[in-house]
Amino acid sequence: MATLDCRIEDDSKFFEVLFSKAHPEMTEELSKVIYENMMLTGEIQIETLLENAIEGVGGPKKNSKVGMDFEDKSDAKKSCVRTRAQGTAYSGPVTSIASKVGDLRVMMYERKQDNFYYFIIPWKAYFDKTWIEIPFNLSGVPKRKNHWWNHEVNTFEEMATTTGRE
């Protein structure tokens, strides 16, 4: 299975937010059927749902090519905050970015506080990195003094539709 069973719970949180944005024409009843029959069995790829939801709320059109997901050269990333460094650090990884050519549209889920965070990270801020870590306190509170937090935006829609950030 492409989605590990342990990831389905996290992916369910993303599904709850993204499905109606990607498919506003679907009824809540049909959404529940899809959730129970496909999401919980790992048949839905949340990364693709994220891309569809970004386009669905008025973001750039999908144009998946090497290094980008959208016609404006930006790329969608989903991340879940996790404990690392033998339990001494808690952060959200944004990985596989070395070949990206535009802004990163990041949707991050933090489990302890049960919150989503959204970022537009300009290419100039990460072009020389292969991954980044967005830090949190062990309690789940963001460490906003870190420079990655300068790229936070308030809503999914802002993350999806913002362009040309420096």
User: Tokens for 69?
Assistant: 């997901």
Return the pLDDT at 45.
86
Q: What is the pLDDT of residue 165?
A: 60
pLDDT at 31: 84
Nearest to 81 by CA among 131, 129, 136: 136
Per-residue pLDDT at 164:
64
Mean predicted confidence (pLDDT) in 20-39? 86
Q: How far apart are CA 72 and CA 61, in angstroms?
A: 8
Residue 28: per-residue pLDDT: 85
Query: Which two three-digit tokens encode residue 4?
Result: 């590990």
Percent of the chain exceeding pLDDT 90 equals: 69
Average pLDDT, the chain: 90
Is the separation of the CB atoms in 72 and 101 below 8 Å? no
Residue 1: which pLDDT band, with cuts at 50, 70 and 90?
Answer: very low
Q: Which of 2-11, 132-141, 147-156 has the lowest mean pLDDT?
A: 2-11
For the chain, the DSSP string reads: --S-HHHHHHHHHHHHHHHHHH-TTS-HHHHHHHIIIIITTT-S-HHHHHHHHHHHTT-PPEEEETTEEETTS-EEEEEE-EEETTTTEEEEEE-S-TT--S-EEEEEEETTTTEEEEEEE-HHHHTT-S-EEEEE-TTS-B-TTSGGGGGEESSHHHHHH-----
Report pTM.
0.90
With cut-offs at 50, 70 and 90, classify the pLDDT of residue 57.
very high
> Would you place residue 3 in the very low, low, confident or very high pLDDT band (cuts 50, 70, 90)?
very low
Estimate the crossing angle of helix 5-22 against helix 46-56, to 10 degrees.
20
Predicted confidence at residue 163, as pLDDT, reads 82
Q: Is 80 exceeded by the pLDDT of residue 100?
A: yes
> Mean of the pLDDT values across residues 152-156?
97
Mean pLDDT lowest for which of 19-33, 109-123, 125-139? 19-33
Q: Reply yes or no on whether the pLDDT at 4 is more than 60.
A: no
* Residue tagged 């959204």 (tokens): 118
